[in-house]
């Protein structure tokens, strides 16, 4: 028994935000952003009307239709995001409600693995399908970054990169041994957890970090106060990133984890028909392409249009590639991701 991708879907908000638009809020330029990241524009969801869940639901409906099933057939939901609607509960149950399938016996699981959330989700879904536990798993990666970014010059290294969007797949069992997920490789190393993170609000109260920079709890309560005035005053409720460390680690880990998947399946880089890397930075993807000696037509890049959509980037790119006819039956498709945690991973799929 193998796991096949039975349907793909994606959705990006209509609102296009160009690099020039961002120059109204922060000291940056179109030239800087294109030179360092390749990004030309990104999409932002409509405030008060859309959320991570509603973006995910649009992608999910497309994937469900593409798989030729109905929402009622879904027996398990996996939702990967770092920008959930609520601190809790997670987006999985909200998506179930949005799809109108609260009456069915489905479970819902939320994944907090940031840029590699979709790859981790595929691996989890693969185990559930191979064990015979589920027959139609809906896996969604969705982000609404625009609600949580720092639009001042202080936050420019992070803010210019990220965009909103969602991608989804439906996974089903197949008895065709020449089709489906061949292997998944997952890795993590928490050494640099705070180097690409949104630390507040959280339960740490400065404990692990030992510095006021991360905000101590309010001493006037028996517990703490989740969001303190100091966090608001000191602009601590935003993501931070040590960009160069992330970049340098990513360009090593991407090729490593792709080669690991190929070795596990006795395949080589020349067997890859399409590489769909997490859209972190065009320069990272180009570096990986060069290291693996892949031609341009074998690598999917859409970061120019959408920016980095974290857990959504691979399923958006995969869905676009499939709907554009770039993925054909029998193709060997390789997915790879690296990001916050650090966590990274790869997946090989025979389509």
C-alpha to C-alpha distance for 193 and 297, rounded to whole angstroms: 34
Residue 300 has φ and ψ, to the nearest 5°, of -95, 125
Nearer to ligand UT7, 151 or 247 (CB): 247
Q: Which residues contact 179 (CB under 8 A, 6 or more apart)?
A: 2, 4, 350, 351
Nearer to ligand UT7, 56 or 339 (CB): 339
C-alpha to C-alpha distance for 229 and 226, rounded to whole angstroms: 10
CB of 278 to ligand UT7, least distance (A): 6
Catalytic annotation on 308? Answer: yes
CB of 161 to ligand UT7, least distance (A): 6
SS3 assignment, position 258: helix
The closest residue (CB) to ligand UT7 is 243
Nearer to ligand UT7, 83 or 228 (CB): 83
C-alpha to C-alpha distance for 84 and 90, rounded to whole angstroms: 6
Of the candidates 115, 185, 200, 281, the residue annotated as catalytic is 115
**Alpha-helical regions (H) of the chain:** 19-22, 30-37, 52-66, 91-98, 117-130, 156-159, 229-233, 243-264, 282-292, 303-306, 313-323
CB of 121 to ligand UT7, least distance (A): 16
Query: Which sign does the torsion angle of CA 294, 297, 300, 306 carry?
Result: positive
Of the candidates 91, 185, 308, 334, the residue annotated as catalytic is 308
CB of 65 to ligand UT7, least distance (A): 29
CB of 116 to ligand UT7, least distance (A): 9
Catalytic annotation on 278? Answer: yes
Nearer to ligand UT7, 228 or 340 (CB): 340
**Region label for 23, one of left (φ > 0), alpha (ψ between -120 and 50) or beta (otherwise):** alpha
Interface residue list for ligand UT7 (CB under 6 A)? 28, 32-33, 36-37, 115, 156-157, 160-161, 243-244, 246-247, 250, 280-281, 284, 308, 339
DSSP helix, strand, coil percent of the chain (3-state; round to 5): 40, 25, 40
How distant is the alpha carbon of residue 314 from its chain centre?
Answer: 7
User: Which two structure tokens, joined as six digits, stand for 68?
Assistant: 């030729």
Of the candidates 278, 281, 302, 334, the residue annotated as catalytic is 278
Nearer to ligand UT7, 161 or 299 (CB): 161
- Block residue for tokens 């290291």: 291
CB of 337 to ligand UT7, least distance (A): 8
SS3 assignment, position 29: coil
Nearer to ligand UT7, 7 or 341 (CB): 341
SS3 assignment, position 252: helix
Query: Catalytic positions, please?
Result: 115, 278, 308
């Amino acid at each position: 028994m193998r796991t096949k991708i039975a349907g793909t879907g994606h959705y990006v908000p209509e609102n296009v935000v160009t690099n020039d638009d961002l120059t109204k809020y922060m000291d940056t330029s179109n030239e800087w952003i294109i030179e360092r990241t390749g990004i030309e524009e990104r999409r932002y969801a409509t405030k008060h009307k859309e959320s991570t869940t509603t973006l995910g639901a649009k992608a999910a409906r497309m994937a469900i239709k593409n798989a030729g099933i109905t929402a009622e057939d879904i027996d398990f939901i996996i939702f990967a995001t770092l920008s959930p609607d609520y601190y809790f509960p997670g987006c999985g149950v909200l998506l179930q409600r949005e799809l109108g399938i609260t009456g069915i016996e489905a479970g819902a699981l939320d994944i907090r693995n940031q840029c590699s959330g979709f790859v981790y989700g595929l691996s989890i879904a693969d185990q559930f399908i191979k064990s015979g536990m589920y027959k139609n798993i809906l896996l969604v990666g969705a982000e609404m970054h625009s609600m949580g970014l720092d639009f001042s010059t202080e936050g420019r290294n992070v803010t210019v990169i990220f965009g909103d969007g969602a991608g989804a797949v439906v996974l089903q069992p197949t008895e065709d041994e020449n089709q489906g997920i061949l292997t998944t490789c997952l890795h993590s190393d928490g050494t640099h957890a705070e180097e690409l993170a949104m630390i507040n609000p959280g339960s740490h109260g400065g404990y692990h970090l030992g510095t006021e920079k991360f905000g101590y709890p309010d001493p006037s309560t028996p517990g703490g106060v989740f969001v303190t005035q100091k966090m608001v005053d000191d602009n601590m409720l935003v993501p931070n990133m040590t960009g160069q460390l992330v970049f340098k680690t990513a360009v090593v880990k991407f090729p490593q984890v792709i080669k690991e998947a190929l070795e596990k399946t006795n395949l080589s880089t020349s067997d890859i028909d399409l590489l769909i890397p997490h859209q972190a930075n065009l320069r990272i993807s180009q570096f990986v392409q060069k290291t693996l000696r892949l031609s341009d037509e074998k690598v999917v890049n859409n970061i120019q249009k959408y920016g980095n959509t974290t857990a959504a980037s691979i399923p958006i790119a995969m869905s676009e590639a499939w709907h554009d006819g770039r993925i054909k039956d029998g193709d060997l498709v390789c997915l790879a991701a690296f990001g916050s945690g650090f966590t990274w991973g790869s997946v090989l799929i025979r389509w």
